[in-house]
Amino acid sequence: MIFEDGTDSIKSGLHKAVDRALYKSTLHLQGEIKGESPVLSGHLRGSVDMGIEPSRLEGEVSTNLEYAMRIEYGFKGEDILGRNFNQKPNPFFRRGAKNAEPGIGKIFEQELRRPINIAYKKAGL
């Protein structure tokens, strides 16, 4: 009789679960940040993008709009066009990140539980 402990199956399942959790949590973060972004024309909200690098376990949410930083942190002074501003900060990225924290934890918990539950079922536990 050959005894198979199932560790290879669990390892494979966990790697896939981490990849899924990374994607889903980055998507969740993007949604929260978009939800907090101020909307005048929708250009800023539409520019909030995401990317993941599973091999480094990194997810990123960003925007390529230069004025997003002025909105996030505020701006006081003259811009390059000679206009004067006294713009208060509207930290939509930071609010979105804070709002996303509980959901990200739940996403990882759910995704990592799945392969472990499958392994238990296969083992008859």
pLDDT for 34 beyond 80: yes
pLDDT attached to residue 59: 94
- Asked whether residue 1 is domain-assigned, the answer is no
In a domain, 5, yes or no: no
Mean pLDDT value across residues 30-48: 94
Query: What's the rounded Cα separation, in Å, for the pair 68 and 93?
Result: 9
Could you tell me if residue 64 is inside a domain? yes
Q: Are 79 and 85 within 8 A, CB to CB?
A: yes
pLDDT at 1 over 60: no
Q: Using one digit for the tens of pLDDT, what is the confidence trace for 48-83?
A: 999 999 888 899 999 999 889 999 999 999 988 999
Q: In sequence order, which residues have a C-beta less than 8 Å from that of residue 115 and are 6 or more positions away?
A: 9, 10, 12, 13, 14, 16, 17
Evaluate whether 114 touches 18 at the Cβ level (below 8 Å).
Answer: no
pLDDT at 68: 94
Please report whether residue 7 resides in a domain: no
8 inside domain: no
Q: Is the pLDDT of residue 35 over 90?
A: yes
Could you tell me the residue range of the domain that residue 82 belongs to?
15-119
Give the CA dihedral 36, 66, 26, 96, nearest 10 degrees: -20
Number of domains the chain contains: 1
Closest by CA to 31, choosing from 89, 91, 106, 95, is 95
pLDDT band at 121 (very low <50, low <70, confident <90, very high): confident
Which pLDDT value is given to residue 2?
54
Report field, pTM of the whole predicted structure over 0.85: no
What confidence score (pLDDT) does residue 90 get?
96
Evaluate whether residue 124 is within a structural domain: no
